[in-house]
Amino acid sequence: MEPGSSGGGLTEYIQHHLSHNTGKLFSMDFNWDSWGMALGLGLLFVLWFALFARKATSGVPSKGQAFVEIIVEFVDGQVKDVFHGDRKSVTPLALTIFMWVTLMNAMDLIPLDLVGWVTQTVFGHEVAHHTYFRAVPTADLNTTLGVSTGVFLVLIGHALSAKGIGGFTKEFFTAPFHAHGFAAILLAPVNFIMNVIEWLVKPISLAMRLFGNMYGGELVFMLIAGLFASWVTFLPGIIANTAWGIFHILIILLQAFIFMILTVVYISGVRESH
């Protein structure tokens, strides 16, 4: 669907590109495009790194192996700076988050109308007009909440591993305001509420930050696409699209890095007692 190709103009064009390929799963709406892209990119990461891990040699590495090693060493270095415990499980988690989120974010660099053009070429204009597909999983709040919920469960696991069930539960009622005797009883509900808020803020902030940045970036690409509807604004559109695309590469990597590093910071925090 081209901007300005129908009576709705740019508004209809944006609405079309912001619509998900939605179906029903257990009587609930389910965005199959976000789920399919996220799953496919996750598998791509696993196969990519597993392939080079199996082919790794102690001699002169290939360019592909060297690139993978650079990424692994970079992530491990970041984890080492933040987390001072055993990194055997934390570094693989950080690497998975960084690469998976980067790949999902990078789908924003795919031309907006590529899927529509392929669909129209194969099936015709009418099918393309009624086909919806969003290629950026992280521009869907369901995806970012799903990933951050996974991180939330990992945080609970680390807290239980470090403090045990008793210590973890006790901390909810005795921190951050420490007291003794009757004062401790009075402050227990306050501490509980404060801890619940603190725990819930972590996954929500992770999800909203990533979603907001990627949704905004996707929307800017759609607005720039409106410049291609006229020959007068076609050249400025190319310049603007190129400039935003180059700048957006930084956003793609930065958001993946922030999600990864905050996850490691949160893990480090929950393993420490108040």
Which residues does the annotation mark as catalytic?
205, 209, 213
Q: Which amino acid is at 122?
A: V
Using DSSP's 3-state secondary structure scheme, residue 3 falls into: coil
**Prior bond to 3 cis, omega within 30?**
no
Contact 142, 33 (CB under 8 A): no
**What phi, psi does 31 have (nearest 5°)?**
-85, 95
Beta bridge partners of 33: none
Using DSSP's 3-state secondary structure scheme, residue 29 falls into: strand
The token pair at 201 is: 């803020």
Element (H, E) at 22: strand 22-25
Contact 42, 48 (CB under 8 A): no
From its phi and psi, is residue 23 left (phi > 0), alpha (psi between -120 and 50) or beta? beta
